[in-house]
């Protein structure tokens, strides 16, 4: 079972891979407003990258209920 730090690190890798910069800090409270380039288009790419890297598939309801990185991590934990 991965711990939260390991999950966060892989999530950050997915962000960096899609956004092509690492000029941000991810915390539980981080939202799209805090990250340069994180918009609706890139959001879907980031989600898809995260699904690939963890080998999981998010449910639509989970995606709709995600308000910040904390929610994202909780959802990943529940799918692992």
pLDDT in tens, 24-58: 999 999 999 999 999 999 999 999 999 999 999 99
- DSSP states of 37-53 as a string? T--HHHHHHHHHHHHHH
64 within domain boundaries? yes
Q: How confident is the model at residue 1 (pLDDT cuts 50, 70, 90)?
A: confident
Number of domains the chain contains: 1
8 within domain boundaries? yes
49 within domain boundaries? yes
The answer to whether the beta carbons of residues 73 and 7 sit under 8 Å apart is: yes
24 within domain boundaries? no
Could you tell me the pTM of the whole model? Answer: 0.94
Q: Please give the residue range of the domain that contains residue 12.
A: 4-18+37-79
27 within domain boundaries? no
């Amino acid at each position: 079972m991965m711990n939260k730090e390991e999950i966060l690190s892989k999530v950050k890798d997915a962000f960096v891979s899609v956004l092509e910069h690492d000029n941000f800090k991810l915390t539980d409270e981080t939202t799209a407003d805090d990250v340069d380039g994180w918009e609706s288009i890139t959001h879907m790419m980031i989600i898809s990258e995260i699904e690939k890297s963890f080998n999981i598939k998010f449910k639509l309801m989970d995606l709709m209920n995600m308000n910040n990185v904390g929610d994202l991590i909780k959802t990943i934990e529940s799918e692992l």
